[in-house]
Amino acid sequence: MSKRAVILSIIFISLFSLDIEAQCAMCRAVLESEEDQSTAQGINDGIVYLMVIPYILVGGIGYIIYYKFFRTKSKA
């Protein structure tokens, strides 16, 4: 397996296998008072997605910079 496949597999597994609670205390108090918890789950998922996107962007830019500067140049 290539390094790229291993790294992508680790990222995929770590992002989608964790049960993360990302609500602040005030949001949790308001949303827990409702009978239907689907709104709370939707808010929680939105917060997690908003939190993850900057890390993905910075990681992608870092990978591109690493690839551009440190790749080995082969002779044709």
The alpha carbons of the chain give a radius of gyration, in whole angstroms, of 19
CB 31 within 8 A of CB 40: yes
| pLDDT band at 56; cut points 50, 70, 90 | very high
Q: Whole-prediction pTM value?
A: 0.48
Short-list 47, 9, 53, CA closest to 28: 47
pLDDT at site 11? 82
Portion of the chain with pLDDT greater than 70, in percent: 74
